[in-house]
Structures are given as C-alpha cells and as structure tokens.
Amino acid sequence: MTETDDLQAFLNDLDRQMHIKGDWGTPARYIPELADIDPAQFAISVALADGRVLSSGSAQKRFSIQSVSKVFTLAVALGRIGDQLWTRVGREPSGTSFDSIVLLEREQGRPRNPFINAGALVTTDAMLEGRMPQDALAELIQFLRAACEDDDIHIDKDVARSEAATAHRNTALVHYLLSHGNLHNAPELTLGTYVHQCAIAMTTQQLARAGRMLAGLPDAPRLISARRARRINALMMTCGHYDGSGDFAYRVGLPGKSGVGGGILIIAPGKASIAVWSPGLNHYGNSQVGTEAAQRLGQFTGWSVFG
Ligand code: GLN
C-alpha cells in the first residue's frame, strides 16, 4: 500500500467515524437560509503536494463558505493596497467572538485582526475602494476560480439575501467603523459586498484546491508570493477561529479558517491544503465535527507545525 492509499483509507474511515459519533453541533441560527440545514453531514478533501486531491463524504456538495472567504478577501485587499491595510486593522487575536463589538470601542475603531467581522468589514472596504461592489466581487470570484483552476464557483444569492435581511450586528459594526473614520465606502456598499463574499458556495474539493497557494504546493497557481502566504497562514493560526483559535491550534496544530457555514480551510505548509465541512457548530461558532476530523487527520499524518 502506498502512503496515498493509507490516507484514502483513513479518510473513508473518518467519514464513517464521524457519522457513528453523531455529535454534530448546531447550524448557524442567525442566518435563516443556513438555519434549517441538516447538521448530520460531513465532507473532507485533501490536496496533496503530488497534485492529487483525496476526499471522502459529501465532497461534491456545495456549502456556504462564509468566513472562510475572509482569507481570500485579505489576499485580494493586500494585493491592491499592500501593507497600508495594517494602518486600518491589526494582527492580534481578539479573544472575543467573531461578531463582537466590544474591543472596537476601546481601540478607537481599529479592529484587532482581519478575521473577526469588524476587521473583515475593513478588509472588504479596502478591497472595494474606488469601484462598484460587482467589480470587486468579480475580482474575488476570479481570484478563487484561478486559485482552484475551476470556473464553477458562484455566489448563492439566496444566502446573501437571507444574511442581508438579518445583518443587524454587522450593520452596527460598519456604522461604528464609519464613526471612527475607518470605513471609506458607503456602509451599505461595504456590507452588501461582505454578505455576498460570505455567500460564495464551494465544495470541499474546490476549497482544498483554492488553499494550495497558501500551502505552497508545487502545482498551485502563483497568485500570491510565498512571503504573503506565510503571513496569511500566521494570521489563520492566531486568529482564524476567533476566541477558539488557541483551542484549534492546540488540537490540530495547523493554521485554519472557519466559517459559520461549517467549513474550515486548513493549511499544512509544504504538505497539503485541507477543506472540511460539517454544518453543525460548537459554542465558538466553528464546525464541531470539522474540528474533530481535523484533529484526527493531524494525529494520523503528523502534519502539526509544532512537530
Ligand atoms: N457572514 C457571517 C457573519 O458575518 C460570517 C461569520 C462567520 O462565518 N464566522 O456573521
């Protein structure tokens, strides 16, 4: 048996184990379109350095990538304005939930990092600057299609509409940012762009392929420099799971970015890009079974960056 055969057998077994365990968590309730999804679902895909993508579970099923999109808007925003972004948003873990507003008041409207909602809204605002939302979103979708070499990536308009109709906290955040001079576009334009980026739908196979550039895999399209990939990975490790980032680093030992759709993108630098999906969330708002599966995969492969 080759190493790849071993890994495929492990992934098949992982899918079985996760269904047997049956402790799925709860889907995001505050976005109506996501609230009724059956939590008893699981998918995992692993893009390897040899170009193969191994999967198990519902790896062809599209899900709402939600906050996983923040990794890609960060890459696009840094591509447009470079390090200037860091005058508007920090690079420190927040220790607060993804939609928290508390630190924003204490720190004069400069969000702690680009992965909490406040910081992601600033990043989206920077990506948007000087153009129409549809143009910024077209660039983002194009970037994702190029990253995974697959044009079949789209925005789920129903999810976007559903989130926009109930985006009370994010509306508060954009106005708070504006009051501190840290929003350059009209609040409804930045927020509209943000809910659409969050509503991008992808399969785990597509997401794993999109992450190859961050893992520095040989077959990844060269869309960002190695230095930028390293830095984005550092932010994913320290901030990618909000107030659950320490716990994810402890359990999995790899940079990861979660979304309330139940997806997690996980990067094993030089080795693999992994996407896992299961829509039930733990109390941090991160995929419950996705985290468990990532932990088991980390143990099986020994890919932890901590040795
Ligand atoms: N669109 C979601 C929100 O802003 C994204 C949050 C998440 O995935 N953690 O609430």
> How would residue 260 be classed by pLDDT, with cut points 50, 70 and 90?
very high
pLDDT in tens, 142-179: 999 999 999 999 999 999 999 999 999 999 999 999 99
Q: Are 43 and 18 in contact (CB under 8 A)?
A: no
Q: Are residues 240 and 144 in the same domain?
A: no
Q: Is 179 a catalytic residue?
A: no
Same structural domain for residues 28 and 148? no
Using pLDDT thresholds of 50, 70 and 90, give the confidence band for residue 89: very high
**240 CB within 6 A, ligand 1:** no
Cβ of residue 117 lying under 6 Å from some atom of ligand 1: yes
91 and 192 assigned to the same domain: yes
Does 191 lie in the same domain as 77? yes
115/165 same-domain check = yes
Q: For this structure, is 250 an active site residue?
A: no
Does residue 298 have a pLDDT over 90? yes
Atom of ligand 1 nearest to the CA of 199: 1
- From the CA of 30, give the closest atom in ligand 1: 10
In the residue annotation, 242 being an active-site residue is answered as: yes
- Report whether residue 285 contacts ligand 1, using a CB cutoff of 6 Å: yes
Asked whether residue 196 falls in the same domain as residue 159, the answer is yes
Whether residue 109 has pLDDT greater than 80: yes
Residue 2 has pLDDT above 70, yes or no: no
Task: Give me the residues paired with residue 155 across strands.
Answer: 200
Q: What is the pLDDT of residue 258?
A: 98
pLDDT in tens, 274-285: 999 999 999 999
Q: Tell me what percent of the chain is helix, strand and coil, each rounded to the nearest 5.
A: 50, 10, 35
The enclosing domain of 178 has a CATH number of 3.40.710.10
Last residue of a domain, one of 130, 165, 200: 200
CA distance 276 to 15: 11
Report how far residue 175's alpha carbon sits from residue 188's, in angstroms, rounded to the nearest whole number.
Answer: 9
Q: How far apart are CA 227 and CA 110, in angstroms?
A: 24
Given the residues 67, 69, 162, 287, select the one marked as catalytic.
67
Residues 144 and 160 in one domain: yes
Report which ligand 1 atom has the smallest distance to the Cα of 198: 1
Q: Is the pLDDT of residue 56 over 70?
A: yes
Q: Rounded mean pLDDT of the chain? A: 96
Domain-terminating residue out of 200, 230, 265: 200
Reduce the DSSP state of residue 122 to 3 states and report it.
helix
Ligand 1 center–CA 7 separation, angstroms? 32
Say whether both 73 and 107 belong to one domain: yes
Residue 287 near residue 261, CB atoms below 8 Å: no
Residues 6+ apart with CB under 8 A from 105: 176
Q: Is the domain of 167 the same as that of 186?
A: yes
Domain that holds residue 139: 67-200
Angle (CA) 117-118-120 rounded to 5° is: 60
Q: Can you list the pairs that 160-165 forms with residues at least 24 positions away whose Cβ atoms lie under 8 Å?
A: 160/195, 160/196, 160/198, 160/199, 161/33, 162/31, 162/32, 162/33, 162/34, 163/31, 163/33, 163/195, 163/198, 163/199, 164/191, 164/192, 164/195, 165/32
Q: Is residue 142 part of a domain?
A: yes
pLDDT > 70: percent of the chain = 99
| Amino acid 78: pLDDT | 98
Residue closest via CA to ligand 1's atom 6 equals 67
Q: Is 110 left (phi over 0), alpha (psi -120 to 50) or beta?
A: beta
Whether 298 is in the pocket of ligand 1, judged by its Cβ within 6 Å, is no
**Res 98 pLDDT > 60:** yes
Domains identified in the chain, total number? 2
Q: Give 176-204 pLDDT, tens digit per residue.
A: 999 999 999 999 999 999 999 999 999 99
14 CA to centre of ligand 1 in angstroms: 27
Same domain, 86 and 164: yes
Residue 124 lies in a domain: yes
The predicted model gives 127-139 an average pLDDT of 96
Determine the Cα–Cα distance for residues 201 and 207; give it in Å rounded to an integer. Answer: 10
Domain assignment of residue 307, yes or no: no
Residue 1 pLDDT > 60: no
What is the percent of the chain where pLDDT is above 90? Answer: 96
Q: Which residue among 200, 235, 256 closes a domain?
A: 200
Identify the active-site residue in 242, 245, 257, 284: 242
Residue 5's pLDDT band (boundaries 50, 70, 90)?
confident
Supply 277's token pair: 């999906």
Is the CB of 99 inside a 6 Å radius of any atom of ligand 1? yes
Instruction: Tell whether the model's pLDDT for residue 22 goes beyond 90.
Output: no
Question: Do 110 and 189 belong together in one domain?
Answer: yes
Distance 291 CA to ligand 1 centre (A): 17
